[in-house]
């Protein structure tokens, strides 16, 4: 059983930045994929970014060029650097890790508003 704990959410003004962290209780170096998803009010959960075990990254079109996913295997932590934030980025952000089973964190709220 792996636990994922997100942190770093909060209130930020449009154009601002936040860095989300996802701390895993297990070794992320053995995960097939680590990812960030988000769910805005009244909408379905959507993929934001993925990083594979060999460091290949993929992003949703809506965040390309603004967000960056990274991983620190020594700390078993995955990060999501979010820049140039927009009100449409407001959502609960979830960390996801795929080992033999699929695991989710509890989510962290990001609110982009002036």
* Residues 30, 97 contacting (CB under 8 angstroms): no
pLDDT tens digits for range 7-23: 999 999 999 999 999 99
* pLDDT at residue number 60: 98
* pLDDT at residue number 16: 98
Give the C-alpha distances (Å, rounded to integers) separating 80 from 6, 49, 100: 10, 8, 23
Residue reference for tokens 């460091």: 55
pLDDT tens digits for range 28-56: 999 999 999 999 999 999 999 999 999 99
The number of beta carbons lying within 10 Å of the beta carbon of residue 41 is 7
- Can you read off the two tokens belonging to residue 46? 């959507």
- Can you read off the two tokens belonging to residue 114? 């002036």
Distance (Å, whole) CA 5 – CA 9:
12
* pLDDT at residue number 3: 96
pLDDT tens digits for range 62-99: 999 999 999 999 999 999 999 999 999 999 999 999 99
């Amino acid at each position: 059983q792996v636990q994922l704990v997100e942190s770093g959410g909060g209130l930020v003004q449009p154009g601002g930045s936040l860095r989300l962290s996802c701390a895993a209780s297990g070794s992320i170096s053995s995960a097939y994929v680590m990812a960030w998803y988000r769910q805005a009010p009244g909408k379905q959960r959507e993929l934001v970014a993925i990083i594979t075990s060999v460091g290949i990254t993929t992003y949703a079109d809506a965040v390309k060029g603004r967000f960056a996913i990274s991983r620190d295997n020594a700390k078993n932590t995955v990060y999501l650097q979010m820049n140039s934030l927009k009100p449409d980025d407001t959502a609960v952000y979830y960390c996801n890790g795929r080992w033999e089973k699929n695991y989710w964190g509890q989510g962290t709220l990001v609110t982009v508003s002036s």
